[in-house]
Amino acid sequence: MNEKINFYNSLELTLSEAEIIFSSAVDDSKSLFHTPTLSTFENKKISTRTVVLREFNREKRYLRFHTDSRSNKINQINDESTSTVHGYDPDLKIQIRLNGQTTIHQNDEISRNAWDQSREMSKMCYSVSNSPGKEILAPEEYDIVKEQIEIESGYKNFAVIIFKFDYLEFLFLKGAGHRRSSFDWSNGDLISNWLIP
């Protein structure tokens, strides 16, 4: 992609590049933006984890992730919605940072649609018998055996995280000519700026 870097000196094309990266990362499991990190607050501490990108909506500026409704991040997000998403691909030499707000969806139309679109393999992990993060003595007791579970019953533990961003920062590394830019929608209209890298 970087053989012909059309976005190098254009803010407009830089934003388009970021949108293309996230759009294509949804189905491209080899893209490092397919598994970005999502950071949330746990009181005054920061909690960061890898999540799989399930959807990127350019117009509404959100990313969709799936998770277990019993996981620690649910309470964190319910207490404080301010979150960030970060990704870096060393082949592309591009880092993208997003600031925004997360919301949880469970037992609603959004979670139902997301569940119905999920593959069996993805659904299986929601049948684990206890909360993710719980301390246990023997990990093998919690291995999921397909023949022993009712896959659809995992829906009760399934949650969707919608991360809506209002700030995107793009960093492209290129020798002495790095390019860093910001795209800010927090006051309504988009304000784009070059930044010193």
Ligand X SMILES: Cc1cc2nc3c(=O)[nH]c(=O)nc-3n(C[C@H](O)[C@H](O)[C@H](O)COP(=O)(O)O)c2cc1C
Interface residues with ligand X (CB under 6 A) are 35, 47, 49-52, 65-67, 71-73, 132-133
**How far apart are CB 164 and ligand X at their closest, in Å?**
18
**How far apart are CB 165 and ligand X at their closest, in Å?**
18
Q: Which is nearer to ligand X, 14 or 127 (CB)?
A: 127
Q: Which is nearer to ligand X, 39 or 192 (CB)?
A: 39
The amino acid present at 84, given as its one-letter code, is T
Q: Which helix (H) or strand (E) holds 72?
A: helix 72-79
Q: What is the DSSP letter of 154?
A: G
Q: What is the DSSP letter of 186?
A: T
Query: For the chain, what is the largest distance between any 2 Cα atoms, rounded to a whole number of angstroms?
Result: 57
Q: Rounded to a whole number, what is the distance in angstroms from the first to the last CA of the chain?
A: 21
**How far apart are CB 133 and ligand X at their closest, in Å?**
5
Q: Which is nearer to ligand X, 77 or 168 (CB)?
A: 77
Q: Which is nearer to ligand X, 71 or 182 (CB)?
A: 71
82, β-bridge pairs = 101
**How far apart are CB 60 and ligand X at their closest, in Å?**
20
Q: Are 102 and 182 in contact (CB under 8 A)?
A: no
How far apart (Å, rounded) are the C-alpha atoms in residues 99 and 47? 15
